[in-house]
Chain A
Amino acid sequence: MFLSMNWISDFVDLSGLDKLKLIQQFSLSTAEVENEIFMKGADISGIVCAEILSVEPHPESQKLHLLKVDCGKGEPVDVVCGAPNVRVGMKTAFAPLGAKIGEITIAPRKLAGYTSNGMCCSEAEIGISDDNSGIMEITDDIAPGTELKSVYEIDDIVFEVDNKSLTNRPDLWGHYGIAREFAALCGRPLKAIDTADLTQYSGLPSVDMKIEDPLCYRYACIQVENVTRRVSPVNMRIRLFYCGMRAINFLADITNYIMLEMGQPMHAFDSRKVEKIRIKRFDKPFVFRTLDGEDRNIDENTLMICNGDTPVAIAGIMGGLDSEIVDDTTRLTLESATFDPVSIRKSTVRLSHRTEASQRYEKSLDPEMVVTAVGRFLYLMNESDPGTKIVSSLTDEYAYRYPQISFGFDKKYVDRYTGIEIDNATIVKTLESLGFGVKNTGDDFTVDIPSWRATKDVTIKADIIEEITRIYGYDNFDVHTAESPLYPVRISAEKNVEEQIKDMLVKRFSLHEVHSYVWPYYDEFKALGIEAEDNIRLVSAPMAIRKNIAPTQLCQIKLNSAYAPDFGIFEIGRVVDGLKEDGLCNEKKILAITLFSKVDSTEKLYLRLRDIIAVLADDIKHQSVSFESIAPSHSWQHPRNLNSIVCDGKKIGEMGLPYPSIAVKIDKKASIVYAEIEIEAFTAVEALGISYEEPSKYPEIEVDLTFRSSVFAPLAEAVKNAKSALVRRVSQADIYDDENGRAITMRLVFADNSKTLTREEVTEVTDKIIEELSAKGIALKV
């Protein structure tokens, strides 16, 4: 919203004050002001009123005219002008030699052979409207040679307030409310707004009007005849233009002017079309044409202003085309009203049509303004068009009143909340300057909230703190720490696990952490042939929440397939595993890892992933992991090599390969493996302590045994069954295939803490192992 300092100055005397500094203060105490401040009129100087004395056609040009103008210099001045609306006797804006418009200083200039000693200006050229159709027409009684800036408010400081910072302040949607803030900030009085006395019309017949719906809080109207003025006074038009609105015609301009001044939207109907005003909703939807010519679908929740049963306006949003003021309108009915703010907002959303009026109504306007605005309208109208006649009494129905709000607080409360010392006199003065009624005895205060702050904005004691402190100024606060006691802070087990996982994966395994969205990547899934599984869905879009992260990572792997020949990504993210018994989402935090390699075989890569998981479990929990083959439960999983990951006897996750047709679409030649680990389950695994073993002083004996076996498991099993305390470590030293199949070399390390082992003691154990395996048909390869 744009605001004019001239307009604000109508209501508070700001003379002698640094206005730019005041605007800055307003930004820190009331509402955010945009950075750019507009110094209106600063780019023009020396523009005067001039009267056109003669108009001759230019011999060389169809468009140009040769004028003699009186610009107050005594002698007429020769001017060449191309405007279509020049005529003898017309008064216009004139830039004489030496005047400035923007960067240009007016100098004698030859136009098609004739010298022009100055320039007649359009309103757009001097920046007071966007009208560039012809030169400005001055109808006011001004002597030629008069500086226009001395008559019209061309010089002004205009600033813009971010509308978002006004959402909770219905009182700030007009200059008067803004002026109240300036008055409080600079400690000067706020002037009353000039209005017509409405009681003088009480004897006139009332308007046939009735509120038939509780969504209308207050509705006031009055009828006016004999409005003859068509074009608004220049100063009114300048203010409207500076504040971002175009002048339309006198009546529309006053309603807009009052909206920008008081924040109260108004509407003027042709009285012939509103003989019987009814405010109500309709049972059935219908189409209604608004005054912008659009056909709009009205439903049964939208409040309408009607003439009997015929809708004439969408309440609080926009009038209808059929009831608009037209050229032969002789009598108009002026509306000033307030409506239920939520209903207006919802209608605005349904209609996708937000107007200057509706955005104000949404904010909960003060119904007390309704009648004042009518008084202001009549005052402004009469000032510029004295022949108008009021032909009805003020007809006002006040259906819903906001409750009067009053409450008490004490000095101690203010001290505790602010943490600084603000004296009682300052509290009283600040609140009174903002229009609050204050009673103060000792350290106790009682406040009456003014109607313009009582529609939703100020309801509790804490709101009063804001009023006191913002005017006091947060920059003036003495800042200090809290006196609260200190306690040690512990890191939660889960957080600890997550951070360790991230460090290990990044620093030890060189993986890259990524983030992703919580819904399936529908388009990318389609390209890879991944089925997007159904799950709990969004209401606003045909999207589900993901059940797994692995499919998302396959898409991310595809995206990065040219990044490097060998890389891996991971994410700790969330998925939804259906609904719980109470109907709420069963949300789980998952560590997902996907590895990609054009260097290693799928088997080698899969073993690398196994080792990563084993290292995580070993390092973070000092636990080992085991793997159990499981059946696929998702179509994107490869049916082979799908394993559950078991740690401390509990399943903590799964690892596997993508379905072959998906893998091929990612990269024909690459190996891809993934794992998903549930963070909660992994956190719950008991972390074992470090079990320290005294190092043996005697040499260890290393024995390699090679067996004909396709898997290692029976070998490990046999070692376990041998139950020898001498076996310290078991590992797979080699694995190879020859014409007789697969062979695995198992390396055993033997040691004894009390003596040097003999060959016989070792052989006793290895013989047991060989024997057991042999019984199972697993031969020792000699």
Chain B
Amino acid sequence: MLEKVKELREKFSEKLGAAADPQVLEALRVEYLGKKGSVTDLLKSMKDLAGEEKKEFGQQVNILKNEIAEAIASKSEQLRQEALEREINLMPEFDLSAPPVLDRGSYHPITLVQRECENVFRSMGFTVEDYSEIVTDYECFESLNIPKHHPARDMQDTYYLTNGQLLKSQTSAAQNAIYKKYRKALMEEGKPIKAIFPGRCFRNEATDNCHENTFFQMEGVMVDKNISISNLIFFMKTMLSEVFRKDIKVRLRPGFFPFVEPGFELDISCLICGGTGCPSCKHSGWLELCPCGMIHPEVLKAGGIDPEEYTGFAFGLGMTRLAMMKYGIKDIRDLNSGNLKALSQFTQDC
């Protein structure tokens, strides 16, 4: 009888070796360990034996049964591993060398520069104000101490509308409203007026690569009890260093604007050469950047603020010029062109 066990074992071993896929293996398991399988048959034949022989035979068959079960399990695992490896080897290496598809949108360069400036000024406690594009003569000129006969009020420079209003020629046109908005908090709570107001301005002039009739400025004002020229220089230097992300030098020259006294032209050390002189700064080491000054007493008065008690400074940054400087835009007309070949290049600025 033990011969039969030996025979079965040898036969199984042979068949297991030939089993190459899970289906064949399963059939083999049924053939040997199934209810009608060969091992089961052997166990059934035990009833014809007795005594030591029966015990011996029983042990041997059980051993065989376990051996077969283990061998099948092990072979099954082996086949699973082999299948996995085959699958892995079938996976190709993907080609990443083609240009990626970005499908991205773009911000207008003015938006990017404006956001950057706004963030700097906000971090220093300035509110960001919005103001209309169409303003009154009072807002744009009279409240800013610009006399009736001043050349800036001439028809040929300013876009007047048939109802007597005009397209604002400078962001300073918002000054009066800002003073009136915050004067109460200034006088009653001692809160200084610190505000910037970016906006679109219009001047009636022929356009070419450096002249536009529609452009952006950003005005800023600060009013409190003891605001001085020294403070003006400090704030301009600090804020411009932040905007340009490097330590820049500033210098003031006298400049005449009716709404400030004294008025200044502010130059910054050349961004390209740092002040040693290069073609960008016409070898002067300086770039003229923005007009500024101490707010004229008449302008404060028009805003309902007593110039004997309060002083302040104001400045006007040319956002369009800043954007052109920052990105090396050579033709100012590109900005309003709507031409996506130019404009789609301005994604988030880091």
Contact = CB atoms under 8 A, between A and B. Distances in A.
Contacts of A417: 228-229, 294, 311
Interface stretch (A114-122, A202-210, A482-490): A482-490
A112 B234 CA distance: 71
A89 to B, nearest CB: 49
A29 interface: yes
Contacts of B134: 545, 576, 584-585, 587
Given A417-B228, A506-B107, A518-B167, A482 B235 contact: yes
B6 interface: no
Interface stretch (B43-51, B53-61, B79-87, B260-268): B260-268
B160 to A, nearest CB: 4
B107 A513 contact: yes
A514 B345 CA distance: 12
Contact of B338 (A462, A536, A569): A569
A414 B317 CA distance: 27
A30 interface: yes
Interface in A404-440: 416-420
Given A466-B254, A466-B261, A480-B230, A512 B160 contact: no
Contact of B161 (A492, A513, A539): A539
B231 A419 contact: yes
B308 to A, nearest CB: 9
Interface string B64-107: 00000000000000000000000000000000000000011111
Nearest to B148: A342
Contacts of B108: 513-515, 571
Interface in A478-536: 478-487, 489-492, 494-495, 499, 502, 505-507, 509-518, 536
B226 A416 contact: yes
Nearest to A574: B133
B40 interface: no
Given A474-B264, A489-B126, A481 B340 contact: no
A540 B252 contact: no
A690 interface: no
A556 interface: yes
Contact of A477 (B230, B253, B255, B336): B230
A165 B264 CA distance: 10
A565 to B, nearest CB: 12
B237 interface: yes
A462 B261 contact: yes
What is the interface residue range for chain A against chain B?
Answer: 35 or more
A487 B191 contact: yes
Contacts of A627: none
B110 interface: yes
Nearest to B106: A512
B269 to A, nearest CB: 13
Contact of B204 (A481, A505, A540): A540
B321 interface: no
Contacts of A505: 105
Given A469-B229, A515-B336, A475 B254 contact: no
A559 B283 CA distance: 40
A538 B162 CA distance: 6
B128 A492 contact: yes
Interface residues of B, number: 83
Contact of B228 (A419, A494, A555): A419
Contacts of A480: 230-231, 234
Interface in A329-370: 342, 345-346, 349
A664 interface: no
Nearest to A679: B130
Closest 4 CB pairs of A and B: A419-B228, A419-B230, A466-B262, A556-B338
Interface of A: 27-32, 35, 165, 167-169, 342, 345-346, 349, 416-420, 460-463, 465-466, 469-470, 474-475, 477-487, 489-492, 494-495, 499, 502, 505-507, 509-518, 536-541, 545, 555-556, 559-560, 563-564, 567, 569, 571, 574, 576, 579, 583-585, 587
Given A469-B229, A560-B338, 20 more contacts: A165-B255, A349-B156, A418-B229, A419-B230, A420-B228, A465-B294, A477-B229, A481-B234, A482-B192, A489-B125, A492-B128, A494-B130, A538-B159, A539-B162, A540-B204, A571-B108, A583-B163, A584-B165, A585-B134, A585-B161
Interface of B: 103-108, 110-111, 115, 122, 125-128, 130, 132-134, 136, 149, 151, 154-156, 159-165, 167, 190-192, 194, 200, 202, 204, 213-214, 222, 224, 226-231, 233-235, 237-238, 251-256, 261-265, 282-284, 294, 296-297, 311, 335-341, 343-344, 347-348
30 contacts: A342-B149, A416-B228, A418-B229, A419-B228, A466-B254, A470-B262, A479-B234, A482-B228, A482-B235, A484-B222, A495-B128, A502-B111, A506-B105, A506-B347, A507-B105, A512-B106, A514-B340, A514-B343, A515-B335, A517-B214, A536-B161, A536-B165, A537-B161, A538-B160, A556-B338, A560-B340, A563-B341, A576-B134, A584-B134, A585-B163
